[in-house]
Amino acid sequence: MALLYVIIAIGIVILMLATSAIKIVQEYERGVIFRLGRIQGAKGPGLFFIWPIIDKMTRIDLRVVTHEVPPQEVITRDNVTVKVTAVVFFRVVDPNAAVIQVMDYLRATSQISQTTLRSALGQADLDHLLSNREQLNQQIQKIIDESTEPWGIKVSVVEIKDVELPQTMQRAMARQAEAEREKRAKVIAAEGEFLASQQLAAAAHVIAQEEGALQLRYLQTLAEIATEKNSTIVFPLPIDIIEPFLDAVKRGNAAGNSALPSSSGNPANV
């Protein structure tokens, strides 16, 4: 009976050793093998065997990691305090270096991302931070990638998600934007007045050269006013328009007076 227990125990130990010797690594993983403390390299994907007790395997995920950098308070070069959040995309390209060169590559990449973000944005003005965000993204990505390259980490993309400004700065920028819009409106209005004055000067020049142009313009204005019958309009009539009629009336009166017989002598006595 005791022999049976021993055989069962030995079978269980062999089964456990065989189970620990069989390793299955997914397509997106690699298994870094250490044998008696010495690295043997990365294996996978698929099924392979290791020596139980002697070998030790560490799984490394090769997929892209999306790391959100916590909000960082940054003082820009023009002494404005802003709160910036960003996101970093990176992946492991060398599993061996990610295991033996750094204790925790995820935490190390996170810390270097935070410090680089504060350092890079601290050298930029607020206007540059708001208007040239793409350039800053590329600059930060390059710095972080150079720092993590010895760890077998490739930083592909860095994106600044949000820039939170103080309330006083937001109000100041709103007033500045409003003043800028008012300035553009005044400039456009002045340009319109200038163009209109040029056209009016050209029209006045044409009217001055043509004798009947002014009378025609007055008649056109009268026709336009006549379409509105809701009000009484007093319109000054230029003397030039009615002067020909006045001359005709005067000539007619003079002709009539000359045609009447003139009376002479004393009246007859009855």
As a CATH number, domain 65-165 is: 3.30.479.30
Q: State phi, psi for 154 to the nearest 5 degrees.
A: -115, 115
Confidence of residue 109 (pLDDT cuts 50, 70, 90): very high
pLDDT at 213: 67
Angle between helices 213-226 and 239-259 (to 10 degrees): 100
For residue 106, what pLDDT band results from cuts at 50, 70 and 90?
Answer: very high
For residues 212-240, give the mean pLDDT.
Answer: 65
**Cα–Cα distance measured from residue 248 to residue 246, given in angstroms and rounded to the nearest whole number:** 5
Rounded mean pLDDT, 226-234: 63
**Average pLDDT of 32-41?**
90
Residue 103 has, within 13 A of its CA and on its CB side, a CA count of 1
> Phi and psi at residue 101, in whole multiples of 5°?
-95, -20
Please report which helix (H) or strand (E) contains residue 54, including its range: none
pLDDT of residue 267: 46
Run of H or E residues at 260: none
179 in Cβ contact with 113 (< 8 Å)? no
The pLDDT tens digits for 159-201 are 998 888 877 766 766 777 778 788 888 888 888 888 888 887 8
How confident is the model over 128-163, as pLDDT tens digits? 888 888 999 999 999 999 999 999 999 999 999 888
Higher local confidence (pLDDT), 233 or 95: 95
Tokens read off for 227: 């379409």
Of 93 and 223, which is predicted with more confidence?
A: 93
Average pLDDT of every residue of the chain? 81
* Residue of 103, 19, 88, 90 lying closest to 58 (CA atoms): 103
Residue extents of the structural domains in the chain = 12-61, 65-165, 167-226
- State pLDDT tens for residues 75-89: 888 888 889 999 999
pTM exceeding 0.95: no
The encoded tokens of residue 7 equal 């055989």
